[in-house]
Amino acid sequence: MMIVFASVVEPALINHGDSAILYDVQRVTRVDNEWFEPTYWRSENKVVGEAAGRGSVIFVREDDDTWVLRHYHRGGFVGRFVSDRYFWRGLERTRAFREWRLLSELSARNLPVPPPIAARVCRRGVGYTADIITGYLDNTRSFESILDEGNAGHESWNLIGRTLRRFHDHGVDHCDLNVRNILLDTQQRVYLVDFDKSELRDSGSWRVSNLKRLKRSLRKVALETGTVFDAAGWQALEQGYQSAR
C-alpha cells in the first residue's frame, strides 16, 4: 500500500557525527543530542516521572511542556542477548524514524495519539540504537490501571471500541495493542500510544488479530490480578467497534 502523507508536518533532519535526529520544526525550534540522554535530564532536575516495564521511559519537563523519552529495547528471546541493538537497514527503516513519521501522519489525521517531538538514531557499525521523544498526554491513565481499580464502566469499554474502529478505518495496524497502550483521560477520551513496528495497511485480517491481541491482554490482566475476565465489558467494546461505522 502506498502511503500519501499529510503536509501539515514540517520534518527536519540534522546529523551529529554517527547520530541522526528527526524533528518537527513546528513543535521545537531546536533539538540537542543530549535531549535523548536520561543523565542530562537528571542532572537538570527535570525528570518528573518514570514508567515501569521492559523499556526505558522517563517523563521530563522542558519549559512549559512535558515530554516522554523512550529508549528502544528488544523483547522476546533475542532481547535476552541483545538488549537495544538493531540491524542497520537504512535510516528511514529504523524503528525510531518509522514510528516518528507514523505518529506525524496520525497526528495530521487528527487521530488521538501523542504528538511526535523528535527521534534519534545512533549507528554503530552494522547496528544502531534508537530513542524517541513524544508529547505527554495530560490527565491520562492506562486502561490497565483503571481495570485494576475496578472502575471500567460500560461507557469506557464502548468508547475504546469506537476509537479502535476509527484507527482501523484509517488503516492503522497497532502491533502491540494491549491494556497498557490504551489511555483514557478525565474527559473519557481514548488515546493509543507506543506505535513501534506499527504501520498503515489496507483492510485485512490484521484487524481481527489486533482485537484478539487486546483480548489476550485483558485475560492476562484478569489472571494476574485474580479477577474474572469482564465478558460484559468486552461485549460493550465490540458493540462500540461495530457501531462506529
pLDDT tens digits, 87-122: 999 999 999 999 999 999 999 999 999 999 999 999
How far is residue 67's CA from residue 16's CA, in Å, rounded to a whole number? 22
- pLDDT of 10 reads 74
Domain boundary pick from 135, 155, 170: 135
How far is residue 157's CA from residue 145's CA, in Å, rounded to a whole number? 14
pTM flag (> 0.85): yes
Q: Would you state the cell numbers that stand for residue 149, as one nine-digit string? A: 481499580
Tell me, yes or no, whether 129 and 102 share the same domain.
yes
Evaluate whether residue 1 is within a structural domain: no
Q: What are the two backbone dihedrals, phi and then psi, of residue 143, each rounded to the nearest 5 degrees? A: -65, -30
User: Residue 4 pLDDT more than 50?
Assistant: no
Per the structure, the complete domain to which residue 186 belongs is given by 140-243
User: Residue 243 pLDDT more than 80?
Assistant: yes
Tell me, yes or no, whether 219 and 239 share the same domain.
yes
Start-to-end C-alpha separation, the chain = 22
- Our count of domains for the chain comes to 2
Tell me, yes or no, whether 127 and 29 share the same domain.
yes
Tell me, yes or no, whether 16 and 131 share the same domain.
yes
Q: Which of 68-77, 89-98, 164-173, 215-224 has the lowest mean pLDDT?
A: 68-77
Distance from the Cα of residue 230 to its chain's centroid: 25
The mean of the pLDDT values for the chain is 90
User: Residue 2 pLDDT more than 60?
Assistant: no
Evaluate whether residue 225 is within a structural domain: yes
Active site residues: 176
**Average pLDDT of span 142-164:** 94
How far is residue 109's CA from residue 6's CA, in Å, rounded to a whole number? 8
How far is residue 163's CA from residue 237's CA, in Å, rounded to a whole number? 10
Tell me, yes or no, whether 15 and 131 share the same domain.
yes
Evaluate whether residue 3 is within a structural domain: no
CB atoms within 10 A of CB 91: 15
Tell me, yes or no, whether 197 and 234 share the same domain.
yes
Domain boundary pick from 117, 135, 153: 135
Tell me, yes or no, whether 65 and 157 share the same domain.
no
